Amino acid sequence: MTKLSPLQIERLQYQPKLPSSLQSGVNSLELVEGSATQSVRDQEQIKALFANTYGKPTVTFKSTSSSGSSEIKNVGVILSGGQAPGGHNVIAGLYDALKNANPENKLYGFLGGPSGIIDGKYVEFTDSFINDYRNTGGFDIIGSGRTKLETEDQFQEAFKVCQNLGISAVVIIGGDDSNTNAALLAEWFVKNNTGIQVIGCPKTIDGDLKNEQIEISFGFDTATKTYAELIGNIQRDANSAKKYWHFVKIMGRSASHVALEAALQTQPNITLISEEVEAKKMSLSSIIDYMTDIIVRRANAGKNFGIAVIPEGLIEFIPEMGSMISNLNDIMATLENDPSFINATTIREKFEIVEHRLDDANASVYASLPALIKEQLLADRDPHGNVQVSKIETEKLLIEMISTKLDELKSQGDFIGKFSAQSHFFGYEGRCAFPSNFDADYCYSLGYNAFALINFGLTGYLSSVRNLTAPASEWIAGGVPLTMMMNMEKRHGEMKPVIQKALVRLNGPVFKQLADNREDWAMNDRYLFPGAIQYFGPSSVCDITTVTLQLERAKELASV
Ligand code: FBP
């Protein structure tokens, strides 16, 4: 028998909360349809590409006193993309709902992400299998992957595998790219009269899969609390030793929601927000000037220490860098099979090939970067054609450039302090943490609700649970058509339909909270120390949601 830690033993016993509408089970539900929907942009193109699944209404569930029965169903589930705390609970909720509807129902888990449904690699879930994973972090129950499901051959293979297992519905648990896969698969299944439904679940620590219907993706709550704990601990260390500047890069591939939330929970001296950098067209050198100014002013006040929070995706939002990376992504898509690039023996040769092909302005930006960053920019793209920003050490680039600038200032007598910096990258530390009570409840509800959507015969929908700052019993369960969130974007050099990422809104209440306070936080140390996530104890500590969710919901409720 595997030995478990005391917390593992206690968390396995935790019973996640459900919205009251779902509490009497999936056979006692009524479906309430909202109005027809359209995509966020490019309506004509999205409608043409999703002729069978476009424009469906949003839906919500109401519990009814009558209890129906449900025919036997086999369902398959896929975990897709980066890990996010709570994935196991989505599967547990789905499993419990499916068995509640009919104990003869079966749930299959496809192994290793979307490739599992193509290769026919799966497990069948049982009570004892599921019970070992309840309320735990990680995706290790069936693994995950980033295969993009988009070709006719892949869809055919997926169909054959589902047919062999008698599967009539597939649940894809993923972020914006994975739910784009879900929308494509749903459309193909309907178009080809397969009778197989597809439902998505909003996952990603990045917090960028959200809109009016989806208040937050799961995992954001736990991941940001984990990073905030670590930043708080570093702030305490910095404030004790008073000798280091800590540059902390925080995961969140594109949008800065994670960095912003972690900053609001801890109040560091400097927080960069990629969306602001882009909107203000801040060049790399103006970012260096902004950060150097705070470092110099703090040094003048006798403080040669501080904390700077940097979002992972920053580099792509700096206008000259973004232009160069976009040009580079297109070039890398053509170089994938180019023998001169593949067989280049030195990294310098690769730099030259790339610089030769980049447009002039982009080539000079690329050439100006330190070799380490140039090399990291050439690393393999993800399956969606994006540069893997988690591998680019922006925090080290900033430290190097600020050091050079401070040396210049020192030689002119304009800097009298010391600058000794430590770099950190917090990302993987937060993606598999034990889900907070919020994520444990939210994920279980999303999974339970996904089966309710299946039971009503819906396809091409994202499981939606709303009203999340209220107690769980008041949460609103329902579904949102995936096509409603889509627009056309360039991927691998081609225009493709994709779910639009939600970036930080600079006119929204969350960014305002930072903007209103950052000068104070820069000079006066207003550090907060959130400490570790608490699972047992007072509700005021254990059940609080993120500052982002609280501010966004307060604004939304005030405008109703
Ligand atoms: P998803 O969008 O799939 O949820 O993944 C998000 C993420 O955690 C990003 O924050 C990060 O840039 C990326 O995954 C890292 O990917 P990998 O796990 O492949 O290193």
CATH of the domain at 165: 3.40.50.450
CATH number, domain at 298?
Answer: 3.40.50.460
Return the residue whose CA atom lies nearest to atom 14 of ligand 1.
82
Alpha helices in 6-121 (DSSP H): 6-13, 20-23, 43-49, 87-101, 115-119
Radius of gyration of the chain (CA): 24
Return the residue whose CA atom lies nearest to atom 17 of ligand 1.
82
Q: For residue 432, how many C-alpha atoms fall within 13 Å in the half-sphere facing its CB?
A: 12
**pLDDT for residue 1:** 64
**Same domain for 232 and 380:** yes
Low-confidence stretches of the chain (pLDDT beneath 50): none
Distance of alpha carbon 544 from alpha carbon 533, whole angstroms = 10
In a domain, 500, yes or no: no
**Same domain for 204 and 64:** yes
**pLDDT for residue 384:** 66
Torsion sign, CA atoms 395, 396, 400, 403: positive
**Same domain for 85 and 227:** no
**Same domain for 245 and 200:** no
C-alpha pair distances (Å), 14 with each of 218, 443, 466: 18, 13, 22
Does 207 contact ligand 1 (Cβ within 6 A)?
A: no
**pLDDT for residue 329:** 87
Question: 105: alpha, beta or left, given left = phi > 0 and alpha = psi -120 to 50?
Answer: beta
**pLDDT for residue 72:** 92
Specify whether 293 is catalytic: no
554 Cα: distance to centroid of ligand 1 (angstroms): 29
Helix (H) or strand (E) holding 486: strand 486-491
In a domain, 100, yes or no: yes
143 Cα: distance to centroid of ligand 1 (angstroms): 14
In a domain, 503, yes or no: no
Q: Which of 96, 176, 206, 208 is catalytic?
A: 206
Split into its structural domains, the chain has a count of 2
25 Cα: distance to centroid of ligand 1 (angstroms): 34
**Same domain for 295 and 166:** no
Does 313 contact ligand 1 (Cβ within 6 A)?
A: no
**How many other β-carbons are positioned within 10 Å of the β-carbon of residue 532?**
12
Which domain covers residue 149, as residue numbers? Answer: 24-219+435-491
**Same domain for 201 and 102:** yes
In a domain, 17, yes or no: no
C-alpha pair distances (Å), 434 with each of 9, 31, 86, 491: 12, 33, 8, 34
Distance of alpha carbon 395 from alpha carbon 314, whole angstroms = 10
C-alpha pair distances (Å), 301 with each of 238, 241, 413, 416, 519: 16, 16, 16, 11, 14
Mutate which of 90, 178, 204 for ligand 1 pocket (most atoms within 8 A of beta carbon): 204
**pLDDT for residue 382:** 75
**Same domain for 134 and 97:** yes
In a domain, 316, yes or no: yes
In a domain, 369, yes or no: yes
CB 472 within 8 A of CB 445: yes
Return the residue whose CA atom lies nearest to atom 18 of ligand 1.
82
DSSP secondary structure letter of residue 193: T
In a domain, 498, yes or no: no
Report the 3 state secondary structure along 335-348.
HCCCHHHHCCCCHH
Does 252 contact ligand 1 (Cβ within 6 A)?
A: yes
DSSP secondary structure letter of residue 505: P
**pLDDT for residue 491:** 78
Residues 6+ apart with CB under 8 A from 68: 27, 28
**Same domain for 247 and 266:** yes
**Same domain for 340 and 260:** yes
**Same domain for 411 and 340:** yes
Count of helices and strands (H, E) across the chain: 24, 15
Return the residue whose CA atom lies nearest to atom 7 of ligand 1.
82
Which atom number of ligand 1 is nearest to the Cα of residue 390? 12
C-alpha pair distances (Å), 320 with each of 227, 273, 325: 29, 16, 9
CB 108 within 8 A of CB 124: yes
CB 457 within 8 A of CB 197: yes
**Same domain for 193 and 114:** yes
Look at the pTM and tell me if it is higher than 0.85. Answer: yes
**Same domain for 540 and 412:** yes
Distance of alpha carbon 3 from alpha carbon 8, whole angstroms = 10
Question: 218: alpha, beta or left, given left = phi > 0 and alpha = psi -120 to 50?
Answer: beta
